[in-house]
Structure 1
Amino acid sequence: MLTVGRVNVSIDNRVLRENEDAVAGEGSCGLRRRRSSRHNGADRIQARATAIVYQEKARTALTQAQDNQATGIDGHGRSLLNEKATSDGRIAFMPGVRQALADAPLQRAVSLATLKKTDVRNASFARLKHAEDIRTLAARIKQHTLDHLDRYLEQFVANVERLGGVVHFAETGADANAIICRIARDNGSRLCVKAKSMTTEETHLNAALEKIGVQTVETDLGEFIVQIDHDRPSHIVTPIIHKDRFTVARAMHRELGVPYTEDPTELTQHARTYLRDIFRRADLGVTGVNFAIADTGTICLCTNEGNGRLCTTRPKVHVALMGIEKVIPKFTDLPVFLKMLARSSTGQPLTVYTSLITGPRKPHDPDGPEQLHVVILDAGRTGILSQEEYREVLRCIRCGACLNGCPVYRKIGGHAYQSTYPGPIGKLVTPLLKGLEPYADLPQASSLCGVCREVCPVRIDIPEILVKLRRDEVDRKIVGPLHRLAFQLAAWTFAAPWRYRLAQRMMRFFLGLHAADGYTSSLPLKSATRVRDVAVPPGPSFRSRWVAGLKDDV
């Protein structure tokens, strides 16, 4: 087992060119890229990746009854714990939005934190040489990997097993939970320490382990506070972005019995003292995976608190849960992503701890687990992989930069999304993984301003994909008839110049009927004026003045 504390990574023009040549030419494993026709490319990727996933079905003898008993997930991998649905089966997004908009402390906390995060991210990228080239390279490596995922996934699995690790494949979140619960039962585990992992949040692993009698403790400070306060994370990177120190102080005093204090340093020390004892007694460690390196069988964990390293070295059993999209081709690709992840998440050059785990502990290793289990989760990912227009969504490295820059997220926080993944990336991932119909509101909850695209370290075109999801909602008649009628009328109006000019004049006239000082506070669509006044378009339009020949007035 190899652990590296602070990795110093440098990338010069030569390395950039070498990586670009590898991706464009032979591919990142040094193997010549296999050309596949337009006819069978996506089908081949989905078929082979899915075939690998289904091998676990033959490997395990778990019954469906055991799966359901061990999880808080239904047979389709959907959460039964936190999501609130309306009578028509849709997740109740708008009630959560209204609740968030009425929560002044949440507004203040989320806005201040995200603005600061965006500022430090921008400053960090400004100091990085060739930052835009590295972003492009990261996107190309990820896209290349997804286009050849069957090859790289098989290579990663073979190398993990060669090193003594055990690989499991899970088709659904329920399967993943059942596999991990089986590992815990087989080893008699009673206390599990968990590093921060969005994938375990997605499967609701904590509830599954608690149901079979395994005490499960989050060890990331933010996740720990969320857990003891019986709350949910509201940000991919900063789970308690919606809380202030007073809320944290009350939770620790109530749940841990420590003296009440509002000093952040003292609160952190209380958490550290409590968690150190937990680490000493833990017999099972569960982590996520930031990157899975195909050519070495290495898993990479990036943390700032050191808890990830303790989760992988103290317990005898280490279970790493990862989605199929976490694979990257080779070890020399890793520096590209380490540079992007830390800067995009927190503005740091690198995370404080970068741990590289290559197999279970060997006889000469001073620490590490006796068993290493890697659980590879599908849960709808091969479905995204098979759709070329949506495949780039799987490039995401879970940095949270798009959340920090999003004006919608800044106003409503994360809980309103009713999903493990909030913010702009959540508007893509959640409908694609769990179904568009129940989450139809999410693609609509965007101004398409494009900030998310500008800050994404792997250049996911989030606004473009949101538009495609909106198109799918219309094509599948998921949106209501009034919504469709409104856009049909808009298309009809914009199709003829005279209709467009007539609509302009009518709008200006009707808005002016109730205007005062150039603004109106009453419109037929009340949501448009619930929290703001709308400006009435001023006098003659630019176009009319131009046509009239009054160019000097422009």
Structure 2
Amino acid sequence: MKVQSAQFIPAAQIAIHDPDLQTAVAFGTNTGFTKRQAAMFADGEAHGQAMRQQAAAIKRHALNNLPDLLAQAEANMQANGIQVLWALDAAEANRHMLEIAQRHNVRSVVKSKSMVTEEIGLNHALETAAIEVLETDLGEYIVQLGGDTPSHIVVPIIHKTKESIRDLLIEKANMPPTDGTEAMALFARETLRQRFLMADMGVSGGNFIIAETGSLCLVSNEGNARLVTSLPRVHVALVGIEKLVATVEDYATLTQVLPRSATGQALTVYTHIVNGPRQPDEPDGPEQVYVILVDNGRSDIYTSDYCEALACIRCGACLNGCPVYQVTGGHAYGWVYPGPIGAVITPLLTGLENASPLPHASTLCGMCKQVCPVDIDIPHMLLNLRHELVARGQSSPVWDIGMKAWALGNKSPGRFVWGGKVAAKVTNLLKPKSLPVPLAGWTKHRTPPKFAPKSFHQLWRERQGDNDEQS
């Protein structure tokens, strides 16, 4: 997927003025946020926060020991009969996929939902090699039908209304006209089922890999991931190297906080663990299982001050809670990962110069950290990225001049007091309808605030004087 994050501001303007998108995203994010709150704290605030901190400790432990866990996971997966490959970047990952497809004479592929495959552009690579690829997650299937891209980490079509989905299915998939959501889902299910049975290869991502057992773990609600990983004769999973956890016990904790944060469920409908290919005494399952461990910039993040971003378990809770995402949707972010976590990892994976608006696509309200099931300090990292932009000279000259003037006035008590008095007199006299650049953006849709008749310092001195007289 081409990186278009530098166009965030004009793309956001388009999204803000799209009434269908506003309706769909507002409904989806509000529903997700409300369900998350109910599920995460069903047993009380203290219990929910304790789960978050336990999950956070597990992911930090895994990151601190990532090289060792990767080696352990590789050895145990190989012992289970899984063939493990490593991909330094997207090109190598796609090359591995094409070589596997050629080796097993693959002509048709069914996929379950995977952000990593979106990241590396897998569908395009396979289709270029004349291999037919079908997305089987319902949301991803609809995205593929419309030639669109996902706009949410968990809910790919959060930007679409039911009516637009209905029209797309009728136009592109020849669905009999209907307004019923159950009828639409049944139509998609019947269409996809035949493709599952015909496919040569199933491709999945991976929510976690358990190092001590060499197990690949997936969570889903539609059952398509189970079909993708068990019906075709070849199963390939592409997994980011950060998805390691040490033990089954660690996984048990994470598989509780992930669905609570993602979909508001105590547990997803399907919790699927792959331990290897079909054994001689087993009636079904793939003959070959491959796991491709994808780096694609993650090692660079691992050795940087932003290593904590790799703790993300892709639940999407920060998107649902973010006031910026709620009005722009995901496509405005211009790449695979939208929302607050996308505003961090997109610059890190694609280059800060290619995504310079994203660190500013935040109010810094802190909601993303508050709802994160592994307590990632996203606001702090956004501030650090903003600092990097300034250090690189990529900030606005007008903004730089304004900040230097503000700093100059605030470094001296005398200048601060004098500046406040001048500003109060000028604004109260002229009654401007907007503040000067670069603050004009704040007053574009707001009435400029009036200065108080007396400053805090004046009130403080007066009250202290009154207290001295009374004593």
TM-score of the pair, normalised by structure 1: 0.81
Q: Conserved in 1, the CA contact under 8 Å of 2:39 and 2:264?
A: yes
1:336 & 1:163 partners in 2: Cα distance?
24
- Greater shift in the superposed pair: 481-490 or 254-263: 481-490
Shift of 1:173: 0.9
User: Does residue 340 of the first structure (1) align with residue 241 of the second (2)?
Assistant: no
Q: Conserved in 2, the CA contact under 8 Å of 1:301 and 1:308?
A: yes
Tell me what 1:369 maps to.
286
- 2:174 is aligned, of 217, 240, 257, to 257
Tell me what 2:8 maps to.
93
Q: Conserved in 2, the CA contact under 8 Å of 1:512 and 1:520?
A: no
**2:352 match: secondary structure:** coil
Tell me what 2:469 maps to.
none
- 1:122 is aligned, of 37, 46, 65, to 37
Summarize the Cα distance change of 1:546–1:177 in structure 2 as closer, same or farther, 3 Å threshold: same
Tell me what 2:54 maps to.
137
1:242 & 1:234 partners in 2: Cα distance?
7
User: Does residue 443 of the first structure (1) align with residue 359 of the second (2)?
Assistant: yes
Tell me what 1:546 maps to.
460
- Greater shift in the superposed pair: 251-260 or 104-113: 104-113
Q: Conserved in 2, the CA contact under 8 Å of 1:97 and 1:412?
A: yes
- 1:520 is aligned, of 433, 439, 452, to 433
The letter for the 1-side match of 2:404 is Q
Shift of 1:295: 0.6
Q: Conserved in 2, the CA contact under 8 Å of 1:511 and 1:520?
A: no
Q: Describe how 1:262-411 pairs up with structure 2 within 5 A.
A: 262-387=179-304, 389-411=305-327
User: Does residue 412 of the first structure (1) align with residue 412 of the second (2)?
Assistant: no
Shift of 1:486: 2.4
Tell me what 2:339 maps to.
423
Q: Conserved in 1, the CA contact under 8 Å of 2:3 and 2:354?
A: no
Aligned residues: 464
1:379 & 1:468 partners in 2: Cα distance?
22
**1:210 match: secondary structure:** helix
2:286 & 2:457 partners in 1: Cα distance?
71
1:509 & 1:285 partners in 2: Cα distance?
70
The letter for the 2-side match of 1:83 is V
User: Does residue 106 of the first structure (1) align with residue 7 of the second (2)?
Assistant: no
Tell me what 1:432 maps to.
348
Summarize the Cα distance change of 1:371–1:487 in structure 2 as closer, same or farther, 3 Å threshold: same
1:172 & 1:486 partners in 2: Cα distance?
41
User: Does residue 209 of the first structure (1) align with residue 120 of the second (2)?
Assistant: no
- 1:456 is aligned, of 359, 372, 379, to 372
Shift of 1:538: 3.8
The letter for the 2-side match of 1:463 is P
Cα offsets for 1:325-358 (capped at 9, x unmatched): 0000111211110111000001100111000000
The letter for the 1-side match of 2:433 is T
Q: Conserved in 1, the CA contact under 8 Å of 2:151 and 2:331?
A: yes
1:280 & 1:551 partners in 2: Cα distance?
85
Q: Conserved in 2, the CA contact under 8 Å of 1:189 and 1:284?
A: yes
Q: Conserved in 2, the CA contact under 8 Å of 1:520 and 1:536?
A: no
Q: Describe how 1:126-275 pairs up with structure 2 within 5 A.
A: 126-128=41-43, 130-275=47-192
Cα offsets for 1:308-337 (capped at 9, x unmatched): 000001100000000100000111211110
**2:354 match: secondary structure:** coil
Shift of 1:494: 1.9
Q: Conserved in 1, the CA contact under 8 Å of 2:3 and 2:350?
A: no
1:189 & 1:479 partners in 2: Cα distance?
49
1:506 & 1:188 partners in 2: Cα distance?
78
Q: Which has the higher helix share?
A: 2
- 1:466 is aligned, of 369, 374, 382, to 382
**1:548 match: secondary structure:** helix
Q: Conserved in 1, the CA contact under 8 Å of 2:74 and 2:214?
A: yes
Summarize the Cα distance change of 1:307–1:510 in structure 2 as closer, same or farther, 3 Å threshold: farther
**2:353 match: secondary structure:** coil
Q: Conserved in 1, the CA contact under 8 Å of 2:398 and 2:437?
A: no
**1:222 match: secondary structure:** helix
Shift of 1:506: 3.5
Tell me what 1:48 maps to.
none
2:252 & 2:407 partners in 1: Cα distance?
48
- 2:403 is aligned, of 480, 487, 502, to 487
Shift of 1:153: 0.1
2:423 & 2:277 partners in 1: Cα distance?
69
**1:139 match: secondary structure:** helix
Shift of 1:170: 0.5
Q: Conserved in 2, the CA contact under 8 Å of 1:402 and 1:453?
A: yes
> Unaligned stretches of 5+ in structure 2?
467-471
Summarize the Cα distance change of 1:107–1:367 in structure 2 as closer, same or farther, 3 Å threshold: same
Shift of 1:533: 3.1
- Greater shift in the superposed pair: 161-170 or 537-546: 537-546
The letter for the 2-side match of 1:263 is G
Percent identity of equivalent pairs: 43
**1:483 match: secondary structure:** helix
Q: Conserved in 2, the CA contact under 8 Å of 1:236 and 1:399?
A: yes
- Greater shift in the superposed pair: 196-205 or 357-366: 357-366
Shift of 1:522: 6.3
2:175 & 2:465 partners in 1: Cα distance?
73
Tell me what 2:444 maps to.
530
TM-score of the pair, normalised by structure 2: 0.94
RMSD between superposed Cα atoms in Å: 1.9
Q: Conserved in 1, the CA contact under 8 Å of 2:81 and 2:276?
A: yes
2:243 & 2:166 partners in 1: Cα distance?
36
2:53 & 2:283 partners in 1: Cα distance?
39
2:428 & 2:110 partners in 1: Cα distance?
63
1:150 & 1:247 partners in 2: Cα distance?
46
